[in-house]
Amino acid sequence: MDSILQCMRCRKTYPIDQVIYACESCGGLLDVAHDLDALKRTVTRATFDSRLGTLDAPYNSGVWRYKELIAPYLRDDQIISRPEGNTNLYNVPKLAKWAGVERLYLKHEGENPTGSFKDRGMTGGVTQARLLGMTRVACASTGNTSASLAAYAAWSGMQGIVLMQNKQIAQGKLSQSIAYGATCIRVDGDFDKNLELVKELSATADIYMLNSINPFRLEGQKSIMFEAVQQLRWNAPDWIVVPGGNLGNSSSFGKALWEMRELGLIDRLPRLAIIQAEGANPLYRAYLTEFEDYQPVHAETIATAIKIGNPVNYPKAVRALEWTSGVVEQVTDQQTMEAKALIDAQGIGCEPASGCTLAGIKKLVEGGIIAPNETVVGLLTGHVLKDPDVTIAYHEDAIPDIHPVHPNRIFTADASIGSIVAILNGDANSVTHL
């Protein structure tokens, strides 16, 4: 059996080269399903270890190193790659102590070509677009998907089309979409509205939709788990902690972990913890009802990357939680920004949504869900330069309702050595170092 598209609800299958975004029978979300029995016989840990450090495309990519687990049907020359992935897994003992665990690793997906994990999905999505003969690709986005789509469209010679919200787009992300030459359309509506419009657009025009409802993007994002586990010498951690917005990432993590165990690449499943912002928490609310009751919410949070009220991948995220005995937690913007400031002050840095990860870990430890002796891998999803305005405003204490616990205020000196030395001899060290 080759790879196919399969409805996660009614199991109906479709050929891999059909342009389709949801099941024609029941409207369910589609998975790219691989022949795991065949893969079991052909791939081992050694397959992927042997490709580490290669200079040759496509295996120099941290996505395509795992090509057999993502798109085994592709020829190497069909792949559109920057290359992406190969992101660091930082051992962060000081942040571990702050959060209350002995071993914490942060995988920094902000180290991808356009500064977020979206590149890992976009390489899969744009590759599929070209395979299907498409020349135009589109998405609605809180910012990072647009930035990534714009870059990959340009790189592959396609037209990129991005629908953006009329407010609250982080400057870094907006500037990327413009710079990479995408057709940028500002729409008077929030993310959820824009997503509806892109769906309509792709149904009526010859435009390939690359939102995270697109299963080929999720296949690429699985590589975050493959790579993290390989970096841990194939030892599965106890916990994977990730911020949740549209829930594409968490969905792909569930599939990746489940497949890795099926293939014998890991011998036990880590537990998944999805962290939402309190103001954009439909998954968390549903979790409290054991997924009996799901209601979209009106989303409000400073972490714009996860400001999503009606996540399209909700059913897949629930499945991921079931597979991994996962949990959902929520954090306030205050907690998110404090955690971000601590990550930043380690010299690593991340965008606000990524702060949820560390804030969530601390909360789960305090709540007795994560045990102090468990090994935790947390995801940093985006680069510190994505949202410079928020970072500066935080340190200047200029964000309403958020109090900077770790401000690094800028001093002002006369243009004289004396004035500068006076500052350095004074209480210059305003940052709380851990």
**Which residues bind to ligand PLP, rule: CB under 6 A?**
116, 118, 144, 212, 243-250, 305-306, 351, 353-354, 381-382
Q: Which is nearer to ligand PLP, 30 or 39 (CB)?
A: 30
| Torsion, CA 304, CA 308, CA 313, CA 316, rounded to 10 | 80
DSSP letters spanning 284-310: HHHHHTTTS---------S-GGG--SS
Q: Are the C-beta atoms of residues 313 and 327 closer than 8 Å to each other?
A: no
3-state SS, residue 26: coil
Part of the chain binding Zn ion (CB under 5 A), chosen from 12-20, 250-258, 276-284, 369-377: 12-20
CB of 25 to Zn ion, least distance (A): 5
The option from Zn ion, ligand PLP, none interacting with 381 (CB < 5 to 8 A, set by class) reads: ligand PLP
Kindly report the number of other CB atoms within 10 A of residue 213's CB atom: 22
382 binds, among ligand PLP, Zn ion, none (CB under 5 to 8 A by kind): ligand PLP
23 is a contact residue toward Zn ion (CB under 5 A): yes
Secondary structure (DSSP) of 47-80: HHHTTTT--STTTTSTTGGGHHHH-TT--GGG--
Residue 170 as a binder of Zn ion (CB under 5 A): the answer is: no
Query: Which residue has 């909360």 as its token pair?
Result: 363
In the list 28, 125, 220, 309, the residue contacting Zn ion (rule: CB under 5 A) is: 28
> Which residue is associated with the tokens 């537990």?
271
Given ligand PLP, Zn ion, none, residue 23, with its beta carbon under 5 to 8 Å by kind, binds: Zn ion
Partner whose footprint covers residue 249, from Zn ion, ligand PLP, none (CB < 5 to 8 Å by kind): ligand PLP
Q: Residue 344 in contact with residue 408, Cβ under 8 Å?
A: no
Selected from 1, 26, 398, 421, the binder of Zn ion by CB under 5 A is 26
Pick 65 or 118: Cβ nearer ligand PLP: 118
* Beta carbons within 10 angstroms of residue 124's beta carbon: 33
Closest CA to 174 of 188, 190, 185, 159: 185
Residue 10 contact, options Zn ion, ligand PLP, none, Cβ 5-8 Å cut-off depending on partner type:
Zn ion
Rounded Cα–Cα distance for residues 140 and 73 (Å): 28
**Among the listed residues 25, 50, 91, 295, the single contact to Zn ion using CB under 5 A:** 25
Which of Zn ion, ligand PLP, none interacts with 26 (beta carbon under 5 to 8 A by kind)?
Answer: Zn ion
Cβ–Cβ < 8 Å for 50, 32: no
Q: Look at residue 276 and give the partner it binds from Zn ion, ligand PLP, none, a contact being a CB closer than 5 to 8 Å depending on partner kind.
A: none
Give 25 or 295: the residue with its C-beta nearer to Zn ion.
Answer: 25
Cβ atoms 279, 301 nearer than 8 A: yes
- Which of 95, 195 has the CB closer to ligand PLP? 195
Of 87 and 144, CB closest to ligand PLP: 144
| Nearest CB to ligand PLP, comparing residues 58 and 382 | 382
What CA–CA distance (Å, rounded) separates 390 from 335? Answer: 14
Least Å distance between CB 204 and ligand PLP?
25
Partner whose footprint covers residue 353, from ligand PLP, Zn ion, none (CB < 5 to 8 Å by kind): ligand PLP
Least distance in angstroms from the C-beta of 53 to ligand PLP: 28
Q: Which residue, 4 or 431, has its beta carbon nearer to Zn ion?
A: 4
Residue indicated by tokens 């994977």: 240
Contact window for Zn ion (CB under 5 A) among 11-19, 64-72, 218-226, 267-275: 11-19
And the tokens for 120? 């890992």
Q: How far apart are CA 190 and CA 227, in angstroms?
A: 34
Q: Report which secondary-structure segment, H or E, holds 281.
A: none
Residue 51 CB, shortest distance to ligand PLP, in Å, is: 26
- State yes or no: residue 20 binds Zn ion (CB under 5 A): no
- For strands 30-33 and 4-7, give the pairing: antiparallel
Check binding of 215 to Zn ion (CB under 5 A).
no
Q: Using CA atoms of 406, 410, 412, 415 in order, give the dihedral in degrees to the nearest 10.
A: 130
Rule CB under 5 A: say whether 7 interacts with Zn ion.
Answer: yes
**Would you say 31 or 43 has its CB closer to ligand PLP?**
31
Binding site for Zn ion (CB under 5 A): 7, 9-10, 12, 23, 25-26, 28
